[in-house]
A = this chain, B = another copy of it.
Amino acid sequence: MIELYHVWKQYQKPSWALSDITLQVKKAEFCFVTGPSGSGKTTLLKTLFRELYPTHGQIIIAGKNIQRIPSSKIYELRRQMGIVFQDFRLIFHKRVFENVGLPLEVVGLPRKELRRKVFNALRMVNLHHKIWEFPSGLSYGEQQRVAIARAVVNNPSIILADEPTGNLDTELAFEIIALFREINRQGATVIICTHDKEIIRRFADRAVFLHSGKLIGKETF
């Protein structure tokens, strides 16, 4: 499903944020990416939804080399994906409802169905009572859960989540990961970046370990 071949990424001259990453994630796999701060987890994820182009290397998703997709067609790739950003990326002048509904709105889903799906997604992250708030009226953990709800609202076949539980307490974090697990069981491929050893211990089928941009461990549990 997701294949990386010899992917290198350099932001600035001397150091490499990613060096020679080769990695396959199969369809419906549940994969964690872990590693210390600054090891390249976010960079790796960003290359997968083409926020960044790798400096060298190939990335094949669902059989397609994503670097070859013209930027006017990239939406086709992203509509299959649910992305949780490390900095949430919510639209602050839109309500929680509208933020979560965004991936449905861009495909033109009928209003009624959109409302049902948004409400369901928010209930899954335990935030349906804040549906008409603005993100600025939420705590950080609540904002993060809005971002998670937005990522899962359109039943994507790929979920890329960057540190989705960094601002959540342990119980809630477990619930969220269990939610991803559930979606994964229904057929979605899930990649989660996390620091939380506890979560990896409890949930991981497979975890890859990054250090200074290098893949130094592929463990299958």
Residues of A that sit less than 8 Å from B by CB:
11-12, 34-38, 42, 86-87, 137-142, 144-145, 163, 166-173, 195-198
Which single member of B36, B87, B141, B195 contacts A37 (CB below 8 Å)?
B141
Inter-subunit contact A140/B170 (CB<8 Å) = no
Instruction: Given A166-B167, A167-B163, A167-B166, verify A142-B195 contact (CB < 8 Å).
Output: no
Instruction: Given A37-B145, A37-B172, A168-B195, verify A42-B12 contact (CB < 8 Å).
Output: no
Contacts of A38 in B (CB 8 A): 138-139, 141-142
Inter-subunit contact A37/B163 (CB<8 Å) = no
State the copy count for this chain.
Answer: 2
Contacts of A172 in B (CB 8 A): 36-37
Inter-subunit contact A169/B36 (CB<8 Å) = yes
A sample of 17 more A-B contacts (CB under 8 A), given A36-B169, A170-B197, is: A12-B137, A34-B169, A35-B169, A36-B172, A37-B139, A37-B140, A37-B167, A37-B169, A38-B142, A42-B139, A86-B167, A140-B163, A166-B166, A166-B167, A167-B195, A170-B195, A170-B196
> Nearest chain-B residue to A138 (Cβ)?
B38
